[in-house]
Structure 1
């Protein structure tokens, strides 16, 4: 864990100013010191019994109090519930933290947050409260990376940990931490998951009486805190179409399709083991391995930003998904490649699907050889010119080819953290090899980050190894 590129210090300093400014805007010097003494019998934890748990709880309830009171630039919220400590949940999260694996394992039932940070910066003798504040501030940084909240406080991509932490409907929390050398693994679980596409909390007048707390029957208003209180069991949430796990539509053949895109050839999972006129089994393996190899180098801070050999490396990625091969995407790639346009397809014909194309002046029959050349060509675009330190897919980056005759959009699509599926094809077009690769979900979304900066694997809610830095959602 904790890879540090040669340019990480520079990037951290630049990000520090952005994040510090953001935190100053959103938080006043409000401090809530009435920490409760919470005892959990039979729990083995690194959090001191009294008043450690109460101090941790105060850190996370403090955010909620700031929101309902409209501190800084927060918009006042209604129906915001106070968090209470749950000893059974603490036992689960304490036992689940495994620094050797560094992954979250409780996400099926709970909203789980995870962060790895260096304790040197926290200071000697720091404890539960200090560690909790570091974790809170790390999770708040998602607001900066994701471009803040919209008017409805919608849970959107990039706000996973923030949404878990301030979800108005959550009523219980438990946290734990374990050291790993100079690093600390810190995790919290919340009893209610926010739903992607829905509001994390609602703007409005905070409660002044019980009737204003309407999320759960029997709720009461803690009038001096303006937070709602509910200590009963929460019903199991219903799965809706806006759930975070439905970014793409799963079809019976095991692949994925984007809205408005219909595969042009029937495929089955068995097809991946068969050669066809446009792609071979060995070629598919080469495509996936070539992409994941380069994504590992990027995620672990080993890719230089720009042309100059003395330039700093791009920073490490908190989240970078591991790519898999998809036969439906291959079918789409075949159909476009067969048209021999030798250019990208119109985006309107492949909603939600990304695309890279390549033209080789001679025909290369060996798919492994061809896709090795293709991967190198697309990836080395980053060494032609540097990209912005915030890693935002900006208009300048998108339009760089027109302005500077430098196209880096193939690199940014390969590097796009949320893209996790790929399918490719090659067609002989009048003596030239025309290569098309399709990606899902699409990258190169204007004004969105290519990936989120942070410690390797920090933002993975599945299985992630610091050795390759790639996240497998399970």
Structure 2
């Protein structure tokens, strides 16, 4: 039996990247575009998120040590200009690193599909080092891990990247606002995800809250090997079973989450003024409703083998789903954050 999984709202599953609307970076470097900036930022924050949630792949088919206080990077136009100065030299060696910052630079043979190339460049900086020398526990910087250490630096908060086509050779550079960790120094702080103690007034993203007591409850429910969800207890429950006891747990989790999220694709929610987004058990969307329910702030999941099948259960807290209650209020993103003191808007969600 295996416990675990993170099967929350598919729109807000644990991810450090910006979701939803495109960002307006308002940078004045006309040699780049917001599309490319978005690609850089999404790629690096997706990798940093894997450190925070413990899913980053190490060498030898293991996982990198999970980290805490790993901050989402924001885009910095000044750092982008420094990266542009680096690639404008059309070389990879002998390019000075900006004082007080760390810099990565590489040359790519093809310039046909820059967006794909840029995405791959970030992954290669990250993964090549890890696969060659591996990340130790604790995660100390060492020879061969220099590029990874710059991108995974737990204290980094800003980045800027740029590119230049030099005689059909694409040069790509990124500048990070923190110096690279010294040899034998921690790349990031080991720990269990979000802690947010490195910088004053930094906050953890509430949509990423994993509820361990909810997981224990989900595991207890899943081990009963039932055929349907159980509405009793202290949590709202999503239930899914697969007619196989050999399916990989990651595959089972993905299948369950996708199935729950797609309930709404064949159903609907009432939109008349007096009953807009009101929940009713007759709608046939209990799992989707749990995933997007406005009042849910925590989720815990479990996957259990039951004879010839596999059960997937997620429990949501606080328990709040019920007939004639509104699943969520419609309107512009984050418009009602002021109704919840101490919250701010992150990725279109009110976050504590």
TM-score, normalised relative to structure 2:
0.48
TM-score, normalised relative to structure 1:
0.37
- Greater Cα radius of gyration, structure 1 or 2: 1
Of structures 1 and 2, the one scoring higher in RCO (CA 8 A, sep 6+) is: 2
